Amino acid sequence: MRNKTILISGSSVAGPTLAYWLARHGFRPTVVERAASLREGGYAVDVRGAAVEVIERMGLLTQVRSLATETERTAYVDADNRQVAGLTADARNGREGDDLEIMRGDLARLLFDATQPEVEYLWGESVTSLVQDADGVRVTFEKAAPRTFDLVLGADGLHSNIRGLAFGAESEFVKDLGYYVSIFSTENHLNLDRQELCYNTPGKLAAMYSANGNSEAKAQFYFTSDKLDYDRRDTKAQKRILAEAYAGEGWVVPQLLEAMWDAKDFYFDSVSQVRLDSWSRGRVALVGDAAHCASPLSGMGTDLALVGAYFLAGELKAVGGDYPIAFARYEQHMRDYVAKGQKSAGDNGKWFVPETKGMIGFRNQNIRMLQYMPWKNMITGGASRAAKSVDIKAY
């Protein structure tokens, strides 16, 4: 086995999954994470199709099922909180069979725990430079002493630091879809019980869904916008942007915005995709959102991260660490799968955040009629079918 020492940047979903499989295959992974500790918060994510099989092969399926959100219904409401359309959560997301929904933080914790104690973690640390040569990659850090690794793998999300260092400026690869998204925890003041409520005005969506056994709720906002100029690390500025975008809106939006100012897990970002001709440069490769973010609107980001990490680690094992061959085979497995996930995002955006009153009414009418349509599974099952469209080979 060659090229055994591997640095992974990122500790959310793709990073720990990659570390787990690399350690199991005989490599020595180290994970570096900018945050001081594991990020426990986040929103609900779907685990479907091939990703469920990856979770099962990790021995985590029972635990994931035990932490599933069990959201039962999504309702679209008017400004007075009266339901105007609704459908089961399974129908909305196209879940079938073993497909699951879990809070991102819960999944991240399970994946992290599965890597203990075999994997080294560097918390509160970040890579500052990468220099490749025939012997490996010389890595410098913000605080720690420089080290040399055989390979470096970027699993650090949409705004990947590793991608920036090895591939070039983010502006070359990140394509905005014309939306912004914000999510944070709040009080479950509507007493939601495994339920999600969505309120639309043209070009905007505000939503609430219950979380953590209905003990709290998640507030979720999407809105259309041209590209905004803001500091990604300035949370207060991002909160002001959201408050201005939703000023004067009805439903429970004012209450949610008031709670926003005290939210400790506030998240705000563009809805964007990452598009690269290749996911590797020499001894450096990318996985998950860093390589091919499909955006939250795709509903497949977690699936792509889990499956991609599995294939990348597996192919490195299969060829004894011969990374040029492994990186090429990893891309061959994933390219069509990623393309389906990225395509679904654009279609979902128009349905999820309609830009006119007429389109909102049309969408609601279709939802009301959906249960009577004999072809309803063809309409709602797209994400689930896409998630099953890759075969998980054994290594």
**Structural domains in the chain plus CATH codes:** 5-74+104-173+273-347 (3.50.50.60)
pLDDT class of 181 with cuts at 50, 70, 90: very high
- Predicted local confidence at residue 369, as pLDDT: 85
**Ranges 104-108, 262-266, 326-330, 376-380: which has the least confidence:** 376-380
Residues in the chain: 395
- Predicted local confidence at residue 348, as pLDDT: 83
Residue 117: cis peptide before it, omega within 30 degrees of 0:
yes
Do 28 and 5 touch, CB atoms closer than 8 A? yes
Determine the average pLDDT of the residues in 261-288. 96
Read off the pLDDT of residues 76-114 as tens digits, 9 standing for 90 and up.
999 999 999 998 765 555 555 568 889 999 999 999 999
Q: Which residues contact 383 (CB under 8 A, 6 or more apart)?
A: 46, 48, 93, 94, 298, 299, 300, 344
Determine the average pLDDT of the residues in 259-278. 95
Residue that has been written with the tokens 């249960």 in this structure: 371
Average pLDDT, the chain: 92
Whether the per-residue pLDDT at 378 is higher than 50: the answer is: no
For residue 310, report the phi and psi dihedrals to the nearest 5 degrees: -60, -50
CB atoms within 10 A of CB 127: 24
pLDDT class of 60 with cuts at 50, 70, 90: very high
